[in-house]
Chain A
Amino acid sequence: MDAISALAGGMLIGLAATLLLWLNGRVAGVSGILGGLLSGTRGDRGWRAAFLVGLVAASAPYLALAPAAPDLRSDFSRLGLVVAGLLVGFGARMGNGCTSGHGVCGLGRLSRRSFAAVLTFLLAAIATTFVVRHLMGVA
């Protein structure tokens, strides 16, 4: 059941990315869209804001109402969250993409850069999770 909802959710994400490319010619990379909203030019901000509003507005009722929706974790170290947020924001902009831009869209275009980025951030994340959970003992 979990595998089916994970696969179905993933296909919806892929369809969302296809829709944005087909209609607007844009890559559905969340960090790129958000980063462009922070730094971009005025005429370029409307569609970025609309995408992000849609993302938040559609996930909220599902997470709030669906019986199958997970209870979100709420007890992780605050310092850990801040450090993680800083690194994720900085790294995603520096590497020109995150899980959605390089992962969902880049792999679909068979981009060599995106393959390299996905491999790098997966390995870095796996190593980090090991260190944080098993060597530092943070759950």
Chain B
Amino acid sequence: MSGHAGLSGVTLSALASGALFGLGLAISGMTDARRVLGFLDVSGAFDPSLLYVLGGAAATTLLLFRGVLRRGRPLFADRFGLSDARQIDARLIGGAAIFGIGWGIAGYCPGPALAGLGVGSIEALWFVPAMLAGMTAHRLVERRMATAR
């Protein structure tokens, strides 16, 4: 009984968080790839929006995460599912570089692309399936490397 209540709490809070996240993306204008590229293109007509969005978001988490983590455990789960990896290695930097190249080509990162899918953006209909294929390709490569080891 309590297990069922816990499950729905987890699902509902994820739904609420996702909705707030999507609203934030839409209000901030980040679903418009032209504005993202307007920031990344430092030699063109510079648009600082992305910096405000990322700054506003990171300042909020910086302010509030500390208090949340001090509570010891989350409300609907036994523990925080945070990575405790510390090492800055080739996998992290290589992955971030590949991600950045893809981001810089078209101006989409995963959140805004998914939000675009919701309004039937024709570009998202091309980008999102390719992104899912890229994620799947990574999983297959990782599995092959694990068995080769």
Contacts and interface: CB of A to CB of B under 8 A. Distances in A.
A17 B118 CA distance: 20
A50 B8 CA distance: 10
A54 B100 CA distance: 26
**Could you tell me the dominant secondary structure of chain B's interface residues?**
helix
Give the top 4 A-B pairs by smallest Cβ distance, nearest first.
A95-B95, A9-B28, A108-B61, A14-B60
Contacts of A121: 96-97, 99-100, 103
Interface residues of B, number: 112
Interface string B68-89: 1101011111011111011110
B102 A96 contact: no
Contacts of B40: 125-126, 128-129
**Could you tell me the dominant secondary structure of chain A's interface residues?**
helix
Nearest to B9: A23
Contacts of B128: 85
A57 B53 contact: no
Interface string A85-103: 1111111111110111011
A16 B75 contact: no
A72 B41 CA distance: 18
10 contacts: A3-B48, A9-B23, A27-B81, A60-B119, A80-B106, A109-B65, A125-B40, A125-B101, A129-B107, A132-B104
A81 B106 contact: yes
A8 B107 CA distance: 21
B102 A86 contact: yes
Contacts of B118: 55-57, 59-60, 63
